[in-house]
Structure 1
């Protein structure tokens, strides 16, 4: 295992030899450049989708100081990202979190990581597709309702599936196009708002407007900090396509860090511009202005300009769904390649023409579509399920951070192109502490007047997902079916 790579090989042969040394062979097309790999992570993170989707809710909850949550959460997630960089640099295998967990700890831990992350990604695809509804309605000039949102969500998922089925090259190009549109759009829209539509002073970023929960501001800020927590993931998608990227050990860690820096910077710029462009902050906080996004864009750009802005936002939603689905399908493919799920023989097949996992992609289109349809009939319940998406991904992340700690305790010394060296231990511990606190904050009950199953909805859904996964794993023992390497990260250093 992990035999030394022969010198003098061509780059593409070195990549294949490295993968072979890790126990796998692959027919993926290695055509994704560093910037295209980064674009995949950026459009998955999607500053426009992340900021614009819950901006109004978080601003009303915590006031303008909610802006600082983007910085604080970004720093916390960078700690997690650095641990991921070490792991993917040594184990550049398609599927991301699942194969990493397999090598760091073992088969059972990996199965649960893959299960939780797969469910969360499918729900996230559905949530983003549904979230595009109101923007499409505004762009086309009709009023959004549950039926139109469902139709738009299904259409968006279908478009993303068809684009993904066309191959890695098209995925990379669309991701790059989405990145450029989103970044340029965020800069142009934000710059215009800051220069011509600024209604608030910079000092407003420190003004709590006397918001209090039980006599203190910090609970309100923690609620508003969900703005950052629902944004800063997507960097792991860079590693999901490791077998489609040349020189992955070096390029993917760099792309991951770029996703945090550039995506986080664009998000903070967009949030700053929106906050300073709010005409009446008190109206937002009091609930009089329930849709500050529409108020800002309508006031600043007028009907025609607002539609152009909506077009940029729509491109961001399409590219976000595309990147999410690509990441989910590679995770499912990796899962199936190790025979960890029903239908593995079909799900692990790559198209001979496009070199992408066709069945896995279709599955990652059908399941989110079913969730979108359920939302039409179970709107209250689906909201709770969707809210689990982000916390499920955070949980999977922390299972990897914890796995890295476990492996370090057993003697693992990262040996990829990227390592933290002596900073490995403190960064790993800090990333674990941050992640646990973030999960507690995201799942904390905040609606005491609501029924218990709503107030504790995220915890309830999370428990159901974990219990179902444990039952499947216990009854069918999928982890015993494959013979791919597992738990060898730290064993290698004991030989």
Structure 2
């Protein structure tokens, strides 16, 4: 006798059974496959946005050898992604960082980590839309006054909200469009510059060209680490929408790895292309040319070609904002679903028609808009306001890595359908070592005369973490949370193995 039930139906039933074993019933629709999920992470990572934003700065700090930070950080973040892959494969839950840290440690730990992470996402949304306004202005030949910038930021946020509100299927579709735009903007353009517009020899990547002056170059090179550290995150967004992905326990780890590998290669090709096509590279290194990419593009592509690139770039920026909003809203939804926030019933509301957390999406749209309104009032505050974001994301990432290592030392063997097997402990330790090294680089004092500007990154983290800890101690939001389990990695692993043994399903 043959069954009329499709493989997709079997997979869907297994996904819901896994979700039920973790204490939840599905409210969201599983409309994302592997490529839509990877596109979401890739457009959040956005090598086009990252390379453009940091190109001139990294060259002025460390010279052409700064490019090697893309390789170093890419390798380190791949280790983190592998750890995340094992965690999400056992816990394919919406919100990513919050449920992972809760189930690997406890609700108090998860609350503080998630508080830091949600603010990091909100500030990142603000920073990306602020940078995007520059591209929009250039596309339409509009001077980026503070008022024009704020209006553009508000329009981009509302456009992303409209797409996100339309449902997971639309989110995946726009993410795939953004992925295509990114690949055209970084890979195709990078190859074009490398092959047809090269002005510099490849040996330039081993020549500091005077960056750092007479000081030992090691310190200069370490300062240039931001070239990579600001680029390689976003892959965790693949896990934020876990309850909207088909076969998430297998597909999300693959999507995370693809995000890092494809994003890393794309960013490397783009950065290298810009360096080698720069007609006056020394001026960029010396800091006299602070916005060189438009000049490089106009020289290589002409005025019309530059406009085409701007259309591609604006598309990539919109997709990046869309992905950031989606990731932040799912974190808020997961947080509120467990009654861990004020107004949890309102924040956890899911649209009956589109199956998306509408109110959480609204928050991740409105709060960045309010921050941008403050920046409109104080235009010189953009760097100070947004400097905390990357460190906050790295802190949240390493909180997951540390919690996973803690459970491994207690005997946890991940029981998702995607595992590292015997390599798990080694990769986990290496990922934590890399993360500590990266955070040390991020909190190093900036080269600025004022105390506030020298230590702004660490001050920002202290303010966000301190306020979260204070609220946790006074209001005790963890006391009113649901009965969902915490710190149960070992028990859940045993339970899942038993279920799969009975069903004859093996990990891969």
Taking the aligned partners of 2:146 and 2:197, their CA distance within structure 1 comes to 33
How far off is 1:353 after superposition? 0.2
What is the aligned partner in structure 2 of residue 169 from structure 1? Answer: 169
What is the aligned partner in structure 1 of residue 182 from structure 2? Answer: 182
How far off is 1:195 after superposition? 2.3
Structure 2 counterparts to residues 110-125 of structure 1, below 5 A:
110-125=110-125
Partner deviation per Cα, 1:113-136 (whole Å, 9 max, x = no partner): 111110000000010000012111
Taking the aligned partners of 1:9 and 1:266, their CA distance within structure 2 comes to 36
The yes-or-no answer on 1:100 pairing with 2:100 is yes
Taking the aligned partners of 1:188 and 1:428, their CA distance within structure 2 comes to 35
What is the aligned partner in structure 1 of residue 54 from structure 2? Answer: 54
Contact 1:125 1:368 in 2 (8 A): yes
What is the aligned partner in structure 2 of residue 479 from structure 1? Answer: 478
The yes-or-no answer on 1:229 pairing with 2:229 is yes
The yes-or-no answer on 1:419 pairing with 2:419 is yes
What is the aligned partner in structure 2 of residue 152 from structure 1? Answer: 152
Q: Secondary structure of the residue that 1:132 maps to in structure 2? A: helix
Change in 2 beyond 3 A, CA 1:312/1:9? closer
Contact 2:52 2:293 in 1 (8 A): yes
The yes-or-no answer on 1:336 pairing with 2:367 is no
Q: Secondary structure of the residue that 1:490 maps to in structure 2? A: helix
What is the aligned partner in structure 1 of residue 468 from structure 2? Answer: 469
Contact 1:411 1:494 in 2 (8 A): no
Change in 2 beyond 3 A, CA 1:28/1:494? closer
Contact 2:43 2:319 in 1 (8 A): yes
What is the aligned partner in structure 1 of residue 266 from structure 2? Answer: 266
How far off is 1:9 after superposition? 7.2
Contact 1:229 1:438 in 2 (8 A): yes
Deviates more, 1:471-480 or 1:75-84: 471-480
Q: Secondary structure of the residue that 1:300 maps to in structure 2? A: helix
Taking the aligned partners of 2:400 and 2:52, their CA distance within structure 1 comes to 29
Partner deviation per Cα, 1:235-287 (whole Å, 9 max, x = no partner): 10000010001110000000000000111111111111111011111111112
What is the aligned partner in structure 2 of residue 308 from structure 1? Answer: 308
What is the aligned partner in structure 1 of residue 503 from structure 2? Answer: none
Structure 2 unaligned residues grouped into runs of 5+: 1-6, 496-508
Taking the aligned partners of 1:298 and 1:64, their CA distance within structure 2 comes to 21
Structure 2 counterparts to residues 248-327 of structure 1, below 5 A:
248-327=248-327
Taking the aligned partners of 1:139 and 1:173, their CA distance within structure 2 comes to 24
How far off is 1:326 after superposition? 0.2
Q: Secondary structure of the residue that 1:10 maps to in structure 2? A: helix
Partner deviation per Cα, 1:130-180 (whole Å, 9 max, x = no partner): 001211111101222322222111111110011100100100000011101
What is the aligned partner in structure 2 of residue 409 from structure 1? Answer: 409
Partner deviation per Cα, 1:186-211 (whole Å, 9 max, x = no partner): 22211221222111010101111132
Deviates more, 1:79-88 or 1:206-215: 206-215
What is the aligned partner in structure 2 of residue 459 from structure 1? Answer: 458
Taking the aligned partners of 1:378 and 1:473, their CA distance within structure 2 comes to 31
What is the aligned partner in structure 2 of residue 12 from structure 1? Answer: 12
Taking the aligned partners of 1:494 and 1:40, their CA distance within structure 2 comes to 32
Taking the aligned partners of 1:379 and 1:430, their CA distance within structure 2 comes to 41
Contact 1:38 1:256 in 2 (8 A): yes
Partner deviation per Cα, 1:13-50 (whole Å, 9 max, x = no partner): 11111100001012211110110000000000011011
TM-score for the superposition, normalised by structure 2 = 0.94
How far off is 1:299 after superposition? 1.3
Taking the aligned partners of 1:145 and 1:198, their CA distance within structure 2 comes to 35
What is the aligned partner in structure 2 of residue 385 from structure 1? Answer: 385
Partner deviation per Cα, 1:426-456 (whole Å, 9 max, x = no partner): 1111111111111111111022x42111111
- RMSD of the TM alignment (CA)? 1.6
What is the aligned partner in structure 2 of residue 4 from structure 1? Answer: none
Taking the aligned partners of 1:339 and 1:91, their CA distance within structure 2 comes to 19
Taking the aligned partners of 1:382 and 1:341, their CA distance within structure 2 comes to 28
Taking the aligned partners of 2:212 and 2:168, their CA distance within structure 1 comes to 50
Contact 2:38 2:238 in 1 (8 A): yes
Q: Secondary structure of the residue that 1:473 maps to in structure 2? A: helix
Taking the aligned partners of 2:274 and 2:244, their CA distance within structure 1 comes to 37
Deviates more, 1:210-219 or 1:55-64: 210-219
Q: Secondary structure of the residue that 1:198 maps to in structure 2? A: coil
Taking the aligned partners of 2:155 and 2:9, their CA distance within structure 1 comes to 45
TM-score for the superposition, normalised by structure 1 = 0.96
Contact 1:64 1:207 in 2 (8 A): yes
Taking the aligned partners of 1:8 and 1:327, their CA distance within structure 2 comes to 25
Partner deviation per Cα, 1:44-95 (whole Å, 9 max, x = no partner): 0011011111111111111111111101100000010110000000000000
Partner deviation per Cα, 1:311-334 (whole Å, 9 max, x = no partner): 111111000000000000000000
Contact 1:213 1:219 in 2 (8 A): no
Change in 2 beyond 3 A, CA 1:379/1:218? farther
Q: Secondary structure of the residue that 1:94 maps to in structure 2? A: coil
